[in-house]
Structures are given as C-alpha cells and as structure tokens.
Structure 1
Amino acid sequence: MDGGGAAELRETHRLTGHADRAWSLAWNPNPGAGAGPVLASCGGDKTVRIWKRAPDGVWDCSDVLDGVHERTVRSCAWSPDGKLLATASFDGTTAIWEYSGGDFECVATLEGHDNEVKSVSWSQSGSLLATCSRDKAVWIWEVQPGNEHECVAVLQGHTQDVKMVQWHPILNVLVSVSYDNTIRVWADDGDDDWHCVQTLTEAGNSGHSSTVWSVSFNQKGDRMVTCSDDCTLKIWDTSVDLSQPTTGEGHESWQHLSTLSGYHGRTIFSAHWSSEDIIASGAGDDAICLFTEEKSTMVEGPSYRLILKKEKAHDMDINCVRWCPQDPRVLASASDDGTVKLWELRGNVLD
C-alpha cells in the first residue's frame, strides 16, 4: 500500500543481540564532533545496547549495559548534551549512565516509584528529568551537581498506568499519556509548583477512546501526535506563542486538529515526528506507516496523508519507531521479535 508514488522505506541494517523483546530506542542527539550516529536500545533481557556506525557504514554493538536493572528495561533517553543516558525499568528504578574513559558507568539510581517505571524523558535544558510508572504517578527530578537527582514534584492525576512522558522541545512543559485514555499537560507556575493545566479526553477534546501509548512533538513544538490502542493517531495543535518566555500560563490551549484512522489494524504503540515533518508509526500489526501534511489548498484546514505503509516490517509487534536527528531519512524500529532495524526513506515524499 503506497500513498506517495515513488516513496520507499528500505531496510538497511538489522541489529541483533537482545535475547528478548526490544522495547525502546533513543538516538544520541549530540554524539560529538566527527562521530557518527549513536543509537541506544533496551529490552526484556534487562540490558541496554549501544550501537555505533563505523566509518565503513557497518553498525556494531559497542557496549552492553547490564548488571544494574533486575527486570525489563522499558525506556531509555539521552540527555540533550549526549553525555548521559537514563534507563527506566520494571524493577521500579531509573538508572543514569555516564560515558567516561571509554566505558559507560552507572552514576545514579533513582528510586521512589512503587512499581514498574515505563518511561523517562529529559527536559530541553537537561536540568529536569521526568519518569512515569504503573503506580499512576509522574515524578519530576532536578539534576544536581555530582550526579545527584532531587525529586521536586510528584504529579498525581492519572487514574491508571502512565505509559509515557515527553518534554516539550522548547518550553518547560511535560506531556503524559496513560492507560486511562487521557493525555495530560503539566507546567509549573515559575516557582516549581507543578500542576496539570490541560487534560485531553475523548468526551471533551476529541481525544482517544482507549489506552494512549505514545506522544511526540514536531520540531517547532506547535504540534504533537499521539497514538493509541484505538488504532488511531491524533494530531494536536497549540496557539501558544513559542517565541515568548512563559511559565505555566496559556498551555491549556492544545486543540484536536486531525485523526488518522484505518491505517493500522491493531494497537499503535509508537509515533515519532521527524525534523522534516514526517510522522512514523509502529503497531501491533507489525507494520510501519509514514504520514506527512497534505499541502493541497483544496482541503479546508491542515490534513495529513499516508506516504507509505510497510507491511511486515517486523515479525512481531513494533514497540518503538525513532527518526535519526543527524539523518532525518533514517528510521529505527524495535520489536517483540528482539531485533532493531534501520530503514532509509527514499524518494521525493514532501511535494
């Protein structure tokens, strides 16, 4: 199925090594001068793997981070400067790893959640870390000197398992999505008093009718995409002036823009927005879909079209898709089949 003519998503590399399902992926946003792309993957085998591209183009696993987490590693995220990697585990902890002297060292272990930690995310400044858990809570940690982390807020509001947290790319605004079918927007009042400023629901805001699994912002931060067990992706738009300094005021302005439905036959577990404004989605139907905004002036308001659908991209559920920041035409995917795949998007898809 192809919505864009010559567009092609070609598998270029298959990274094997995880002994269980591969859950999550994170590209290093700042791998260092002269360095090629660096990808972290984590999985049910309690490990994190670091993948690097050699000068000849071959991808190798350079490091295996193990011996710290006692259960599945569900999520991983690099700090904005690329020097730290945070990993969240079903053992209830979040580990902070630092690359120093040619090796990764666990320099901090954050404890506090009652049970499984599902997601971890760094703020755009790198000064805050957010975690969420099956215990329905979202924690915000402040990074202190000497790799110390202080919990500055425990955010209660979700009534079920919180699946993912994601910081806004520009503002100190946090979004969380949950098994309770809602999307919550959190901000502080400028005095570290964090609170929920908006809740997006099916009844009130044309939100999702089932578990919300993932959220991703576009590069400008004025739109976000969410995906769900209801087999839809939803595009949201904000009227906030991102050029103006702000506290938590005004962020209750996310509006439903578009719903993408009928493209996946099972739960959509992951969605990610590229710097070229291409949205990738991965789902339980083993497929990857790519979407872009429809530029036609015949349509009233913004709408999105399917570029292509890659059937059987993996042998089992696709848990995570992530575009490479250094090469916006390279996509990584992680699956229950234990593999991580790298894809190259070819063709003129943005016309």
Structure 2
Amino acid sequence: MSLYDESFELKELQRLEGHTDRVWGLSWNPTTGVDGVPAVLASCSGDKTVRIWQQSSPSGSFECKAVLEETHTRTVRSCAWSPSGKLLATASFDATTAIWEQIGNDFECVSTLEGHENEVKSVSWNASGSLLATCGRDKSVWIWEVLPGNEFECVSVLQGHTQDVKMVQWHPSMDVLVSCSYDNTIKVWAEDGDSDDWHCVQTLAESNNGHSSTVWAIFFNASGDKMITCSDDLTIKIWGTDIIRMQSGDGNATWKHLCTLSGYHDRTIFSVHWSREGVIASGAADDAIRLFVENKDGLVDGPMCKLLLKKDKAHDMDINSVQWSYSDNRMLASASDDGTVKIWELTSLP
C-alpha cells in the first residue's frame, strides 16, 4: 500500500505558546530526534526573539528550553540550524544575521554578519555547513564562507533580482543555491569552476511556466531532482532536473516545469516543505494546511500529485511556515501570525 492509496488525518499534538508576536519561521535541528536524542525545534518571531523547543522524550511533549533575546533589535524573520546541529543562524529585519552556539545549557551569539542594507529575509546553510546564504529587501543574495573560530567571510554578493528577495535555499547535496523574489522569479546560482565567481545559471519566470506574482518559498525533495515553489498567485509549482547531469557539472542540466497545483488555497501561499517520505505540505494566508503526495504508481496519464488531505483552520491566522521533522517523517510543525507554533502528526486512518 502506498501513500497514494491511504487515507490520513493531521492530528494536532501540541500548541506551543510563548511568543508575543507573529511567528515567522521554524527550523528542526537535524541531529536531534534520533537515537534517543529528544527533538529540538527553533522558532523566530516579530517579538525579536528565537525560542528553542525541546521534546521531553522521544515521544513526549515539547517545552521551551531557551529564549534567545537582546541581540536582534527588530523582527527575526528566518532561522536555520547548521547540518552539524551545533550552530543556529537567525536573520532579522535589523539588517543582521546572528550565529548562535549552544554552550552548556545556554545559547551564545558567537558572530554577527553585517552587510545587507536593510531587512534580512532568509538564511540557509549548504549541505556541508561550509557556506551560508542570506538574502534581503535590498534585492541581494550574500554567500558567506564559514571559517574556523566562528568567523564568516562574504565571498560573493549576487545581484540579479529586481525586488525584495524572499528566500534562499541550498540544494540538498550540491553547492547550488536557489532564491525567490517579489519580482516573481526564481534564480539558480552556481559557482564558475574556472573563476570561482558565483553567477546566475537560470531564471524561472512566468515566460517559462513560472509564477505570475511574488514567489515566497522554495524547497527540494530528498533526492534533489525536484524542487517546489509557492506564490502569491495561489499556485504551487514542481520543477525537475536531470540530477545525474547536474552532479557531473553539466551546465545544461536546467530545471523544467513539471506541474502546477492550483485551486487548493484561496489566499497567498507562504510556505512549502517536502518530507523525506515524499509528502508536500503547504501553509497559507487562508489559515489552512494542505498535504499532497506524488503519484508513484506510474500512471502516465494521471496527475503527478494528488491532494492527501485538507486541514482548514489549522491556525487562527495566516500560516507563515510549515516544516517536516528530519527524524520523523510524519511529524509537522507550523507557525502562524496568531503567535503560536503547532506540532502535528500525520496518521493513517483505519
């Protein structure tokens, strides 16, 4: 029996309260939730803080273990754990990105990255943890190299978007970076092997089956051969590439539009995330979560994806982020303008 054939429900396990303003972003620590290590989740908010939530046991409830505050002076828009799980990067409207390290039971800000002219909207680590990308309202994307001693050096400032850049996301296995923007486009960036310069290798726009309005978020599937995007145009789009050609460094391994999911949300779609099991989650300004699954049954004429379930009124207000756990394919976190984080479990109906 495949995911495509089962019936599911999204069961609310816990509502996490403590933020005093809208919650913008979420990030699961990728090294937790396995081998008896309790799962750890970070959330960031308009209240200028980041909260660290930890599960009391592998199947227990989540509790707030730390509040990272008095560093950012404005909204914290995005947070991301490094692949090692040792560092947490937080991007803020105060034009800085802070790097936090857990030392004992406390978190300390060990580095502050400055350079963006104004609001930093998103932060993302590459697969090895050697590079960090940030983007902002100043229309730029910055790539930082991680040096010993928690030092960070900007190695490239990428100019190409004509508007506010909403999100950056590294490919799960290669040093290829993707960004999306208020200018309705998605840009793919790669390093030139000869010059070590970063440049835009592809732009996905409305003219090549792209979005017709602001693109809010991007994510990849586990194997890295597909990418999902969501937009103010109320659609979700799936893109595919020849991963073998991409891995070989073939510059012709471009991303191609595979399908568009429309009619599932009736307000802006702010977040999409792909579980390792292959379930796509979306969260939107209509307070709803939708789950989709790829058709793996080889139906050539059938839809590429089907709606797995609809969760209306998942929150009281806009849903800004949905994030599947790295360790538990069926655990989902969501963050909302209502100031709460919710933990959900995808369960099969009998």
TM-score range, shorter-chain basis? over 0.9
- Give the alignment partner of residue 170 of structure 1, picking from 169, 173, 192: 173
> Given the superposition, is the C-alpha separation of residues 48 and 242 from structure 1 closer, same or farther in structure 2, using an over 3 Å criterion?
farther
User: Could you tell me whether the CA contact under 8 Å between 2:282 and 2:291 is conserved in 1?
Assistant: yes
User: Could you tell me whether the CA contact under 8 Å between 2:7 and 2:308 is conserved in 1?
Assistant: no
Instruction: Give 1:294 deviation, angstroms.
Output: 1.9
Count of residue pairs brought into register by the alignment: 344
User: Could you tell me whether the CA contact under 8 Å between 1:152 and 1:192 is conserved in 2?
Assistant: no
**For residues 243 and 325 of structure 2, what CA distance do their matches in structure 1 show?**
27
Aligned partner of 1:129: which letter? L
Instruction: Give 1:36 deviation, angstroms.
Output: 1.2
**For residues 48 and 76 of structure 2, what CA distance do their matches in structure 1 show?**
5
Q: 1:35 is matched with which residue?
A: 37
- Give the alignment partner of residue 52 of structure 2, picking from 46, 50, 53: 50
Q: Secondary structure at the match of 1:177?
A: strand
Structure 1 segments of 4+ aligned residues over 6 angstroms from their partners: none
Instruction: Give 1:313 deviation, angstroms.
Output: 0.2
Q: Secondary structure at the match of 1:260?
A: strand
Instruction: Give 1:300 deviation, angstroms.
Output: 3.0
Are 1:241 and 2:240 an aligned pair? no
- Which range moved further: 186-195 or 102-111? 186-195
**For residues 49 and 154 of structure 1, what CA distance do their matches in structure 2 show?**
30
Instruction: Give 1:35 deviation, angstroms.
Output: 1.3
Q: 1:198 is matched with which residue?
A: 202
- Which range moved further: 233-242 or 26-35? 26-35
**For residues 23 and 252 of structure 2, what CA distance do their matches in structure 1 show?**
34
Q: How does 1:85-234 map to 2 (within 5 A)?
A: 85-190=88-193, 191-203=195-207, 205-234=208-237
User: Could you tell me whether the CA contact under 8 Å between 1:240 and 1:250 is conserved in 2?
Assistant: no
Aligned partner of 1:44: which letter? G
Q: Secondary structure at the match of 1:241?
A: helix
TM-score (norm 1): 0.95
Q: Secondary structure at the match of 2:229?
A: strand
Aligned partner of 2:30: which letter? P
User: Could you tell me whether the CA contact under 8 Å between 1:197 and 1:251 is conserved in 2?
Assistant: no
Q: 2:289 is matched with which residue?
A: 288
Are 1:25 and 2:26 an aligned pair? yes
User: Could you tell me whether the CA contact under 8 Å between 2:245 and 2:253 is conserved in 1?
Assistant: no
User: Could you tell me whether the CA contact under 8 Å between 1:77 and 1:86 is conserved in 2?
Assistant: yes
Deviation track 1:264-318 (CA, whole Å, cap 9, x = no partner) reads 0000000000000110000000000000112344443761100001000000000
Aligned partner of 1:198: which letter? Q
**For residues 117 and 297 of structure 1, what CA distance do their matches in structure 2 show?**
42
User: Could you tell me whether the CA contact under 8 Å between 2:144 and 2:156 is conserved in 1?
Assistant: yes
**For residues 158 and 321 of structure 1, what CA distance do their matches in structure 2 show?**
25
> Given the superposition, is the C-alpha separation of residues 298 and 141 from structure 1 closer, same or farther in structure 2, using an over 3 Å criterion?
closer
> Aligned-pair RMSD on alpha carbons?
1.7
Runs of 5+ unmatched residues, structure 1: none
Aligned partner of 2:214: which letter? T
Instruction: Give 1:155 deviation, angstroms.
Output: 0.1
Q: 1:76 is matched with which residue?
A: 79
Q: 2:310 is matched with which residue?
A: 309
User: Could you tell me whether the CA contact under 8 Å between 1:4 and 1:307 is conserved in 2?
Assistant: no
Deviation track 1:306-350 (CA, whole Å, cap 9, x = no partner) reads 00010000000000000001101000000000000000001179x
Are 1:332 and 2:333 an aligned pair? yes
Q: Secondary structure at the match of 1:60?
A: strand
Instruction: Give 1:245 deviation, angstroms.
Output: 4.7
**For residues 154 and 75 of structure 2, what CA distance do their matches in structure 1 show?**
23
**For residues 316 and 303 of structure 2, what CA distance do their matches in structure 1 show?**
34
Aligned partner of 1:20: which letter? D
User: Could you tell me whether the CA contact under 8 Å between 1:119 and 1:163 is conserved in 2?
Assistant: yes
Instruction: Give 1:189 deviation, angstroms.
Output: 1.4
User: Could you tell me whether the CA contact under 8 Å between 2:246 and 2:253 is conserved in 1?
Assistant: no
Instruction: Give 1:243 deviation, angstroms.
Output: 8.2
**For residues 55 and 339 of structure 2, what CA distance do their matches in structure 1 show?**
20
**For residues 213 and 330 of structure 1, what CA distance do their matches in structure 2 show?**
23
Aligned partner of 2:314: which letter? A
Runs of 5+ unmatched residues, structure 2: none
